[in-house]
Amino acid sequence: MKSWYPVLAALLLLCLAAMPYGYYVLVRFVAMILFALFAYEKWQKEQHTLAIVFGALSLLFQPFVKIALGRAMWNFVDVVVAVGLLVLWLKGNHKEKH
């Protein structure tokens, strides 16, 4: 599942560009599903803190009851989450090599 971290990070960072509205909706669906899967995986590995964080992100990004944060705040959230995913991905790759 960790191989999806940089993919989702890239999708989130693309949200900073002027994209069609459908792209943002698609990203919300993809993010919701992936964050839910990440949460489940972390819960199974007994990494409960990360499981809760990923679960909360799944709820934040869900497209059914939209959370209106405004464009600037969503951009900030997208960048912070993308950086967090990349850090987790890099840490995971570093551990696997050693």
71-92 pLDDT per residue, tens: 899 999 999 999 999 999 998 7
20-69 pLDDT per residue, tens: 999 999 999 999 999 999 999 999 999 999 999 999 999 999 989 988 88
* pTM, full prediction: 0.89
Residue 11's nearest CA partner among 77, 76, 78, 60 is 78
Q: Is the pLDDT of residue 8 over 80?
A: yes
Domain residue ranges of the chain, discontinuous segments joined by +: 4-97
At 94 the pLDDT is 57
Residues 27 and 57: beta-carbon distance below 8 Å: no
Residue 40's nearest CA partner among 18, 24, 55 is 55
Residue 35's nearest CA partner among 5, 64, 71, 67 is 5
Grouping H, G, I as helix, E, B as strand and the rest as coil, residue 57 is helix
